[in-house]
Amino acid sequence: MIFLAVFLFLFSIDFIGHSFKLLNREIVDSILTLTSNPFIGLFIGLLITALIQSSSTSTAMIVAVVASGSIGLP
């Protein structure tokens, strides 16, 4: 059962990375413009973490997005 849970978690992170590769560049630019203010970015990060109830999942999603090349590190 634990093996299945780990597999599904890793599969979903990979799926998120592939999904972000397919996003239109205009959508990504609008998201980056919206979060350019550090306080707004912090609030959005807190909101996402609260909605999915897991900071580890939020971090894994950000890692997948950066790994896909959709966004870069400053």
Q: What gap in Å lies between CA 10 and CA 2, rounded to an integer?
A: 12
Domains of the chain by residue range? 12-67
pLDDT value, residue 30? 78
Rounded to two decimals, the pTM is: 0.46
CA distances from 29 to 19, 24, 72 (A): 16, 9, 12
Tens of pLDDT along 18-54? 777 777 677 777 777 877 788 887 888 788 788 877 7
Q: Which of 6, 22, 24 is nearest to 60 (CA)?
A: 6
